[in-house]
């Protein structure tokens, strides 16, 4: 992977999932004056595990997009090759699942209805974007390879 491709991926990671899973939840915590909850150790451990798993999953997908797909996670600079390795063998959208893992981890940790509502809305937006925009673009860009992939791999789980 070239250094320039690494920088583009870093930029788009900070811009897109960074805002969705970092900046906006931070805004909710500040805006609604969410205080540190008195969760059980088990709840905090689960929240951290789910969030960390989501982060690792998302970063692995971004790495695959750069190294195998020769592009970025952004629709503005998409991959040039279809990525079907790693967790992409089991689900067509592991990067979105990774971001959702981060959001669910945050909602679990802060134990807050606004963060749960936000996570639900984001999932609905992801789902609609994938169905109405992304799948059509992937079919247009990768043709029968994506069509066959779509037949054999589930959209989510």
Tokens of 112: 């807050």
pLDDT at 1: 64
pLDDT at 82: 97
pLDDT at 12: 84
pLDDT at 46: 98
pLDDT at 49: 98
Q: In whole angstroms, how large is the CA radius of gyration of the chain?
A: 17
> Does the predicted TM-score (pTM) go above 0.75?
yes
pLDDT at 6: 87
Nearby residues of 75 by Cβ (< 8 Å), 6 or more positions away: 133, 134, 137
CA distance 152 to 129: 21
pLDDT at 68: 96
The 8-class DSSP code of residue 88 comes to: G
Q: Where are the alpha helices (DSSP H) in the chain?
A: 3-15, 17-18, 24-31, 41-67, 94-110, 113-129, 135-152
The mean pLDDT values, 10 residues at a time, for the chain of 157 residues are: 82 91 95 91 97 97 94 89 97 98 98 96 98 96 97 97
CA distance 26 to 115: 10
pLDDT at 3: 83
Dihedral sign, CA of 153, 156, 141, 12? Answer: negative
């Amino acid at each position: 992977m070239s250094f320039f491709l690494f920088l583009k991926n870093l930029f788009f990671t900070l811009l897109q999932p960074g805002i969705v899973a970092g900046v906006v939840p931070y805004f909710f915590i500040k805006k609604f004056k969410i205080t540190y909850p008195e969760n059980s150790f088990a709840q905090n451990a689960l929240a951290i595990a789910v969030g960390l798993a989501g982060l690792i999953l998302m970063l692995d997908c971004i790495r695959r997009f750069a190294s195998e797909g020769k592009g970025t996670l952004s629709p503005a600079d998409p991959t040039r090759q279809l990525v079907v390795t790693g967790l992409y063998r089991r689900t067509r959208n592991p990067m979105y699942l990774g971001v959702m893992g981060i959001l669910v981890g945050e909602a679990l940790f802060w134990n807050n209805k606004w963060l749960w509502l936000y996570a639900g809305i984001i999932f609905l937006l992801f789902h609609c974007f994938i169905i109405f925009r992304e799948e059509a673009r992937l079919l247009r860009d990768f043709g029968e390879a994506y069509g066959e992939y779509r037949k054999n791999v589930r959209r989510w789980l």
